[in-house]
Amino acid sequence: MSFLRSAALWFLPLVLIPIVIHLIHRRRHPTMPWAAMMFLHRAAGSRRGPAKLRRWLILATRMLVVAALVFALARPLSSGAFGVAASRIGQGATSIVLLDRSPSMQRRVAANQTRMEVALQGVQQTIQTLGTDKIILIESVGQRPIPIDDLNSLPAAPVCSPSAARADIAEMFQTAVRYLQDQDRGPADIWICSDGQTGDWQPQSQRWQQVAMEAAGLGDAVSVHQLSFHPDDQINTSVQVDRVRWSRAGQGRAVLISITLERDDPTAVVVPVRVTVGAVTTTVDIAVADGVGELADYRIDVGQESDLVFGKVAIAADVNTADDISYFVAPTEVRPQLSLLTETRCDALEVAGEVFGTLVSEPANLAESQTQLFGDCLLWQGPLPAGRESESIKSYLDGGGQVVFFPPQQLIAETTFEGVGWGAWVDDNVQTASLDQLEFPIQRYCAVEGELVKLAEVGGQDVLIGKMRVGTGTAWFCGTDVSNPNSLFVKDGLALYGLLSQVLETERADAANSDAIAGLQATVAFQSDVAADPQILLGDANDLNITLERGFHAGVYQLADDGSGTPELLAINSPMEESLTEFLTADQRRELVPGLKWNEIINAGPDQNATTGFVREIWGAVWVLLILGMLSEAWLSFPRRNRSPA
């Protein structure tokens, strides 16, 4: 406990007054004649203990009352560890507030109050109580020292609003330490308003070692006060769009959306999810078991007129609304590019290529050509590549390409690609093969041999179609003759179209994953690009000055036109790791910067009275103590009624 007016504690010796009065009173007793001394002698031996205890209790309560009165005059402050801060008032200590604005701080811990609001309000009231003049705010988005003149405006300030970006506490701490080193080397208190979420603190970050080294020079002049929230049992569910891609299956244009739900509870539940694209909202139920629920390739039909498709996926608001909405943008739709390399003219492949995309020109020299000229898919008919050709194809596959190998008319024995080759041609009776659920006739084929995933087989044992991963791409092998127009495989056509459809779907899925990585990189660039001048198309940051905090609020943004004529869209969402319930303990946080004095504020969680500061004057408690002491003294001093033995 500490005191705002500690000089009043010089009056503490006044607690001896009751003892002095007691001693004086004992010397002023009257003398009376008495006959029944034998009763007194008998009584003195028994029941004297409780009476003596009662007398001492009366004396103690009187001293307590006087002490409470003196304490009240000294204006006591609660929270003993923070008394250190109170004692610095006279030294003009600076208060630096590190504010974590990440989504995990949006979790509600009290009625309509988030962790960030509770922490901010507590720090604000504490600093007001202490009367600190110099206040510096370092928040997780800007990460710059901002002098604060008016504490009352702090909760409503835009720089204290929730953001969708994770916080980098290490960098914020380093900023604070450097501020103190460069501009203010006096005593200071660093107030950390963070829930200790592992993703925000990044305890493995190398930056903490730098912070520790730099903070070591500050010595005892700096104290760190960190806020801790007790884990609560409220269940949070978060939603995220994993992948968005175009689909051409079925009629009309559609996007396929893959959604993941994560829930802090292993109980199996069904969560209704609202998917909004434009003005259309549909609802789909996703089963969640063991804390995870997934929905792959949920189809949303879109119109023909617009190339800009974006929207959001939302669940009902729960304890943390920051992760209840996930925004998405469909990638720009482009026709796949296919390249064709055949030993003889293959009309079937040319026609199919034109149907599924655009055929690019045949590279003149395969060995020396740039693999990106293959486009999205390479259709190969002829002997399997060898030598530099093989290297070139593998390089293309490593980069995520798709290659479909068809056999030549004359097979070269013992020739393989990545361990896969063809057997001898088999010309037999017409047999039936199946690809997915499509059955088709086959008469002449050569079995695909090697370690690969079997997609279609014939004769019960021979592999007709298969695929294998090579790098991040896929090599497909087909054992049918596509150069002969009379081939049943060509004449039927359906199996060839089914195969190419699968190949291109795989290519799109891989491309969507690449888009996600590219989107993340674009977000970082977007957040740091002042010239981006974004406009928010969808999101909850409409009332904020977007140009100040570009990309740190969830939503769909349209970037400035770069002259290509196609506006670029970007979806910003809170990181999924912000929904994890992994927090650093107070000790773990303390070990990150061991050279400073760390104090911990325990927040009671849902029961916390969010309207009180961490340090406050405890007049109420002192007065309650005073009244209780006086009542106790009166009760103890009340004369006991003696019963007459007669």
Region binding another protein by CB under 8 A among candidate stretches 50-58, 67-75, 351-359, 383-391:
50-58
Instruction: Please report whether residue 23 would count as binding another protein according to CB under 8 A.
Output: no
Whole-number minimum distance, CB 43 to another protein, in Å? 3
User: Which phi and psi angles does 456 have, rounded to 5°?
Assistant: -145, 145
Whole-number minimum distance, CB 22 to another protein, in Å? 11
Instruction: Please report whether residue 20 would count as binding another protein according to CB under 8 A.
Output: no
The single residue among 23, 33, 112, 365 that binds another protein, judged by CB under 8 A, is: 33
Whole-number minimum distance, CB 17 to another protein, in Å? 19
Region binding another protein by CB under 8 A among candidate stretches 41-49, 199-207, 286-294, 519-527:
41-49
**Do the beta carbons of residue 18 and residue 636 sit within 8 Å?**
no
Query: Which value, in Å, is the radius of gyration of the alpha carbons in the chain?
Result: 39
Whole-number minimum distance, CB 53 to another protein, in Å? 10
Instruction: Please report whether residue 34 would count as binding another protein according to CB under 8 A.
Output: yes
Instruction: Please report whether residue 46 would count as binding another protein according to CB under 8 A.
Output: yes
Region binding another protein by CB under 8 A among candidate stretches 43-51, 418-426, 442-450, 559-567:
43-51
At how many degrees (to 10) do helices 169-183 and 207-216 cross? 30
Long-range contacts of 429-433 (CB under 8 A, 24+ apart): 430/488, 431/458, 431/459, 432/458, 433/457, 433/458, 433/464, 433/495
The single residue among 31, 251, 410, 609 that binds another protein, judged by CB under 8 A, is: 31
Dihedral angle computed from the Cα positions of residues 482, 487, 493 and 498, in that order, rounded to the nearest 10 degrees: -50
Region binding another protein by CB under 8 A among candidate stretches 36-44, 141-149, 295-303, 329-337:
36-44
Region binding another protein by CB under 8 A among candidate stretches 51-59, 266-274, 436-444, 542-550:
51-59
- Mention every residue, 6+ apart, whose C-beta is less than 8 A from residue 296: 258
Instruction: Please report whether residue 24 would count as binding another protein according to CB under 8 A.
Output: no
Instruction: Please report whether residue 646 would count as binding another protein according to CB under 8 A.
Output: yes
Count CB neighbours of 310 within 10 A. 23
DSSP result, 348-371: HHHHHHHHHSEEPPPPS-TTTS-G
Nearest to 630 by CA among 177, 152, 162, 61: 61
The single residue among 7, 23, 24, 38 that binds another protein, judged by CB under 8 A, is: 38
Region binding another protein by CB under 8 A among candidate stretches 39-47, 305-313, 459-467, 606-614:
39-47
Instruction: Please report whether residue 44 would count as binding another protein according to CB under 8 A.
Output: yes
**Do the beta carbons of residue 606 and residue 109 sit within 8 Å?**
yes
Beta bridge partners of 165: none
Task: Name the residue nearer to another protein (CB basis): 49 or 565.
Answer: 49
The single residue among 5, 16, 48, 209 that binds another protein, judged by CB under 8 A, is: 48
C-alpha 262/C-alpha 535 separation (Å) is: 30
The single residue among 20, 24, 50, 620 that binds another protein, judged by CB under 8 A, is: 50
> b/e for 114-143, b at 16 or more Cβ within 10 A?
bbbbbbbbbbbbbbebbebeebbbbbbbbe
**Which 602-641 residues touch another protein, going by CB under 8 A?**
639-640
Q: Which residues bind another protein (CB under 8 A)?
A: 25-26, 29-40, 42-48, 50-52, 54-55, 639-640, 642-646
